[in-house]
A and B are shown apart, each in its own frame.
Chain A
Amino acid sequence: MKDLRPTQIKEAWTLLFVLGVIMINYPFIHIFNKETTVFGSPLLVVYFMVGWPLSILVVYIFVRHLEHQPTEDEGKDSEE
């Protein structure tokens, strides 16, 4: 993502958002919606309690990338 232009970043964010919505909804969620347990906890609970922080990590990494590209940040300003 080194060479991402502002519009691409915008698209990347939108993509992540859409992916996120898909991943917590039917039918995708159906994969984890089972009565099995992992480490003693129900699979679905584990899915959320692991998937959620992971998604936050992804945002964190993307944001860090934004911060390390101050010029692109400004470019972004003018893009919108």
Chain B
Amino acid sequence: MISVQLVALISLAYFALLFGVAYFADKRREAGRSIISNSHIYSLSLAVFVTTWTLYGSVGRAATSGLDFLPVYLGPTLIAFTWWFFLRKMVLVSKEHNIVSIADFISSRYRKSAVLGAIVTIFAVIGIMPYIALQLKAVAHTFDLLTTTQVGPGGSAQFTPLAPRMDTAFIVATVLALFGVLFGARRLDASARHEGLVAAVALESIIKLVAFLAVGVFVTYGLFDGYADIFQRFFATFPDRDYLVTIGTTQIPYAKWFSLTFISIMAVMFLPRQFHIMVIENSDPKHIKSAMWRFPAYMFLINLFVIPIALGGLLMFGGDTTHADYFVLHLPLESGHHWLALLVFLGGFSGAAGMVMVSSIALATMILNHLVMPIVIKLRFESHDLSGFLINMKRLAIVAVIFQGYLYYKIIGDSFALVNIGLISFVAATQFAPAVIGGLYWRRGNVSGATTGLLLGFVVWFYTLLVPSFVRSGWVKTDILENGLFDLPLLRPTELFGLSGFDLWTHSLFWTMFFNLSAYLLVSLLTRPNSIDREQAAKFVDPESYREEEQKRRRISKAPTIMEFVNLMAKFIGEKQAHATIAEYLGDREIDERGSLSEYDLPNLKRFAERTLAGSVGTAPARIIIENYLSARGSEMEDVFDIFGTVTLSRTASREQLGVLYEAASIAASGEELKNILDNILELLMRQFKFDLCVIRILDEDRNSLIVRSQKGMSSEHLGESERDLSMDTYIGEAFLTNSVNKVNDTDFLEKPHSAQIIHREGIKSFAHAPITVEGQPMGVLSAFSRSVKGIFTEEFVERFRSLAGQIGVAWRNASQTRRLIEVRGQERELQIAKNIQLGLLPTQTPKTTGISLAGICVPARQVGGDYYDYLERGENGIDLIIADVSGHNVGAALIMAEARTFIQAQARQIDSANEIMEAINRFFYADLTRAELFITMFYLKYNSANHEMAYASAGHNPPLIWRRDSNACEWLDAEGLILGIRKEVVFEEKKGTLNPGDLVLLYTDGIIEAENAREGFFGRDRLCALVSEYHDRPPQEIINNLLDQVRLFTGMQTFNDDVTMIVMRVEK
């Protein structure tokens, strides 16, 4: 016997250790360095499946009925094969929706139904009751056993309970409740995860395994001589008990074997605590991978010594199975190994504590979310901070869950073996299977089916398992078992509808599943799913493909601000938490100038708030809270008008949209008249998107305003017909000036008062302006108005709208290019005319003045030049050389030249001096030149070969060059005089000089000296002079040709940029 004090002390020390580990894990989590986020801890924590049932009950069962303890662990091993897709899907979906419990999972899947959540919760709480009772019973019993067992002289145990007034189970329940509160409800956490709890559970799992292996090795190899020895002795001692090592016997028919496998598979997946540890506490779905073999390996090891211990116990106690459930403890105690017994006790306590803590926390969460919250919501919650109330409710729920287990224990007492009590809970957990598995893989499964199935399953479970357990304990009269409800034999709980000959479990499993599954399938098939059903089904059945799509198409009208969301959340999760989570959420998001999120981020924020609340109160209550809140302030979620009239699958939608764009592009490229193109594009826009008014305005640069070029839809003088100034005061002006789409999805909120007036008068609900651009530059605006719907302009649609505006830009550019082409063709013809005029003006032959040789050329740069040269014979010896350059290269300039020529030819002969001729020309042309905005530079040189005298005047022309034979140098002829056409009265200077034989005069226009190459700059006068010196003795025509060649060489181009005109005259000897 070990003293109560010692056991209590060691138990307390163990509590302290567990709590220390949990505290450490929580701290580490806060520091962001989780110790539990790895596959080892995850796999170990899954072993919360192993409870006192395993540690004590398996042996008990192995000793009494045989191998049927095994399916409870073989089933989980098998289902682990499917975890890679099945469990992972559950985890992924749960994380996606911030699901916090199995009730939450089922309710989320089925329309976020609050009723369903409540049903699952009640079911789970009642269903788990026997299981908790089992743990209390086992721990209380082993504690008593440890502290009271006297090892008698004959090795037989004397078992006397502790002082009768002391209720060990009550103390154990209290301690475990305290534990549950400490681990699971110290404070209200926005996240449903409890890393401290997981760490403690993992540590407990190690203790369980170590304890059980230790006692196993001790019995098998300490008390006996290995497996074979035990079996040999067993067969020798109890030859009639060979049923303990076979199945298909009366104790374990094959049907029962299968039933046990089946319910164990379901239990390991759907018991609230398993779901909690596997799904909710999973920190990374990758951990599932190695848990798939680690967890089964744990199952295997924990069962390795069950048979040896059981058979060893039978051998030790002479076949007495009274205390078979506690052989594990009795064997070391009897043999005086108290420390080993203490270790086993700690192992058993670990199993119980882990199971009770996790179950009570998981169930308390469910109670809080699905039973308390709906009532709280009903009673209105505006007034104050609820977080304190909620955390206390959670604590209360934990205590309540544990104590209802205690109550059941008090009722059932010792009337059932451990395993049998646990199996009642297993069958209860199995009832969740159709709703969960169907929910994950069958789209048609809906809320009605799930609710009906669960309710029926629950009722049948209660009637076929729970009621018999009450009867057996004597709490309920045995009548019902023998005669059935209302004395109807067909309703006998263990032989329902006459189904007899099966064991309790198979019978119950069959009927519960029969009703549950068929109701789920039938009702689901017979009822029509609504849109929320379909949406939730899609999210669960096909989470990956749904996520991409996730709701871009909803908006909130009269949306709350960020702060309002924070305040709302603070009510439920506390102010600090609320601020912390929102800060995290906003961290990487853009906030607009008003300190709020964009219209399309607000629904995201709403969803985030809902998810955050869901982490604390569950999804269904979170949805109700948010919806109540929004509706209370008059906001509502509206479906964004589905512009494409198709299901919201982005792929099909974008195909439709691309179709519209394609059509618009082909309209733009149709080559129709611009007006028609614009009309057609608007037509398309109206037809496809059901706008009430579409307008295209194009910038008129002269008036600096946007002029309506096309308009379709309702007639509105202000919106559709009037022009718009470019100003930031209007939406359209802003769109143009900022070169970006300006959209208003809800005209109840307009910032520009001027626009608002018109918009409201016309009853516009939403509108958008997109700049029409050509090569990135805005040149107009496409506007669309809707009177019927708000929120047309989703981000996605705005993109399309902008592209449409782009197509209009293309059409506009094409049209204006065509116009320019026509202009160019017109110009070409004109230029040809001018060229003909010009060529007609130039002298066709060189005068035969004596004593000189003469040549002239005009090389027009393009079709028509502004240059002009002429000779005027004055008798036999006299000659006038005229060179001029008219600015401009059009017909006008050509006509001016023609006029000048006529004037000179007609008038010059009557005027003797060069300057007077210039003055006359200037006077005559001033008016014409001014009107045509043209002017002329001109050089006029008179020469008489008889006396070798020359006289000249210049109207701002390039000074001609004289090469003097005597000095072999260049001179430049210059005279004062303004360009023709600047002033009406100009006095020109006449200069005089002589030209001696061999001297050479070169008159030229700026086309030569301003010929340019990139390296050396202008051709220049010096180069001209040098060349003339070189070629001075050649015939003038050859000099001209050489000079042209040199200029071409210099520029490196065959053609000239400007007209090149030259006259070369040499005085002959």
Residues of A within 8 A of B (CB): 9-10, 13-14, 16-17, 20-21, 24-26, 29-30, 33-35, 37, 39-42, 44-45, 48-49, 52-53, 55-57, 59-60, 63, 66-67, 76-80
**Measured between C-beta atoms, what is the minimum distance from B255 to chain A in Å?**
8
Do A79 and B258 touch (CB < 8 A)? no
Binary interface encoding of chain B residues 220-245 relative to chain A, with 1 for a CB under 8 A from any of its CBs, else 0? 00000001110110000000001001
The answer to whether A10 touches B85 (Cβ under 8 A) is: yes
Expressed in whole angstroms, the Cα–Cα distance for A55 and B88 within the complex equals 20
Contact status A17-B79, CB under 8 Å: yes
- Would A48 and B70 count as touching, CB distance under 8 A? yes
Residues of B within 8 A of A56 (CB): 77, 293, 296-297, 300
Within 8 A of A (CB), among B266-306: 289-290, 292-293, 296-297, 300, 304
B246 close to A33 (CB less than 8 A): yes
B118 to chain A, nearest CB (A): 30
- Tell me if B426 counts as interface (CB < 8 A to partner A): no
| Residue B663 CB within 8 A of the other chain | no
Is B242 a contact partner of A30 (Cβ separation < 8 A)?
no
Which residues from A are CB-within-8-Å of B78? 17, 20-21, 24, 55
* Chain A, residue nearest B244 (CB): A42
Contacts A40-B232, A60-B293 known; A13 to B257 CB distance under 8 Å?
no
Chain B residue with the shortest CB-CB distance to A67: B289
Contact B242 A35, beta carbon cutoff 8 Å: yes
Contact, CB under 8 Å: B289 / A66? yes
**A17-B81, A56-B300, A80-B85 known; A26 vs B228 contact (CB < 8 Å):** no
Which residues of chain A have C-beta atoms less than 8 A from B74's C-beta?
24, 48, 52
Given the interface pairs A26-B258, A48-B70, A52-B74, the reply to whether A59 lies near B231 with Cβ below 8 Å is no
The answer to whether B543 has its CB under 8 Å from any CB of chain A is: yes
Pair B77/A13 contact, Cβ less than 8 Å = no
Closest B residue to A7 by beta carbon equals B85
The answer to whether the Cβ of B945 comes within 8 Å of any Cβ in the partner chain is no
Q: Are B289 and A52 in contact (CB under 8 A)?
A: no
Contacting residue for A40 out of B79, B228, B254, B297, CB 8 A: B228
Interface 1/0 per residue, B197-229 and A, CB below 8 Å: 000000000000000000000000000000111
Contact indicator B261/A21 (Cβ below 8 Å)? yes
Chain B residue contacts of A30, Cβ below 8 A: 248
Assembled-state Cα–Cα distance A33/B68 (Å) = 13
CA distance A12 to B470 in the complex (A): 45
**A59 x B248 contact (CB < 8 A):** no
Q: State whether the Cβ of B706 lies closer than 8 Å to any Cβ in chain A.
A: no
Cα-based distance from A55 to B73 in the complex (angstroms): 13
Interface string of B107-133 (1 = CB under 8 A from A): 000000000000000000000000000
B92 — which chain A residues lie within 8 A by C-beta?
80
Residues of A within 8 A of B289 (CB): 63, 66-67
Contacts A26-B248, A44-B67, A80-B92 known; A66 to B84 CB distance under 8 Å?
yes
Whole-angstrom distance between the alpha carbons of A30 and B247 in the complex? 9
Assembly CA distance A62 to B258 (angstroms)? 26
Give the distance to chain A from B72, nearest Cβ to Cβ, in Å.
12
B63 within 8 A of partner (CB)? no
| B228 contacts A41, C-beta separation under 8 Å | yes
A26-B254, A29-B247, A41-B231 given as contacts; is B81 within 8 A of A13 (CB)?
yes
Closest B residue to A23 by beta carbon equals B78
Number of A-B contacts (CB under 8 A): 109
Interface size on B, residues (CB 8 A): 40
- Nearest A residue to B262 via CB reads A21
Within 8 A of A (CB), among B348-367: none
Q: From residue A50, how far is it (CB to closest CB) to chain B in Å? A: 11
B917 within 8 A of A: no
B307 near A59 with CB under 8 A, answer no
Smallest CB-CB separation from B440: which chain A residue? A80
Contact of B82 among A13, A41, A60 (CB under 8 A): A13
Please, how many angstroms separate the alpha-carbon atoms of A62 and B89 in the complex?
19
Minimum C-beta distance from A33 to chain B (A): 5
Q: Nearest Cβ distance between residue A69 and chain B, in whole angstroms?
A: 11
- Among candidates B81, B245, B290, B544, residue contacting A16 with C-beta atoms closer than 8 Å: B81
Evaluate whether A39 and B228 lie within 8 angstroms (CB atoms) in the complex, with A48-B70, A59-B296 already known. Answer: yes
The 6 residue pairs across chains A and B that have the minimum distance between CB atoms: A40-B228, A26-B254, A42-B245, A17-B81, A20-B78, A60-B293
B438 is an interface residue with CB less than 8 A from chain A:
no
Q: Does B184 contact A (CB under 8 A)?
A: no
In the complex, A38 Cα to B56 Cα: how many Å? 28
Chain B residues whose CB sits within 8 angstroms of the CB of A39 once the complex forms: 227-228
B453 contacts partner chain A, Cβ-Cβ < 8 Å: no
Q: Does B574 contact A (CB under 8 A)?
A: no
- B257 near A59: Cβ-Cβ < 8 Å: no
Contact indicator per residue, chain B 427-443, by CB within 8 Å of chain A (1) or not (0): 00000000000000000
Given A56-B297, A80-B543, answer yes or no on A40-B227 (Cβ-Cβ < 8 Å): yes
Q: A17 CA to B246 CA in the complex, in Å?
A: 23
CB-CB under 8 A for A80 and B293, given A48-B70, A59-B80? no
Known pairs A26-B248, A55-B296, A80-B85. 16 more at Cβ < 8 A? A13-B81, A13-B82, A20-B78, A25-B258, A34-B246, A35-B242, A35-B246, A37-B231, A39-B228, A44-B247, A48-B70, A57-B293, A59-B81, A59-B293, A66-B84, A79-B544
- Which chain B residue lies CB-closest to A11? B85
A62 to B958, CA, bound (A): 96
A and B contact pairs by CB, cutoff 8 A, 14 listed: A10-B84, A17-B82, A29-B247, A29-B254, A40-B229, A41-B231, A42-B245, A44-B67, A45-B245, A56-B296, A59-B80, A59-B81, A63-B84, A79-B544
Chain B residues whose CB sits within 8 angstroms of the CB of A44 once the complex forms: 67, 245-247
User: Is the CB–CB distance between A80 and B261 below 8 Å?
Assistant: no
Which residues of A have CB within 8 Å of B77?
A: 20, 52, 55-56
Of the candidates A41, A60, A79, the one having the most CB atoms from chain B within 10 angstroms of its own CB is: A41
Which B residues are in CB contact (< 8 Å) with A26? Answer: 248, 254, 257-258
Say how far A6's CB is from chain B's closest CB, in angstroms.
Answer: 9
B71 part of interface (Cβ distance < 8 Å)? yes
Contact A63 B88, beta carbon cutoff 8 Å? no
B599 to chain A, nearest CB (A): 30
Within 8 Å CB of B293, what residues of A? 56-57, 59-60, 63
Chain B residues within an 8 Å CB radius of A17 = 78-79, 81-82
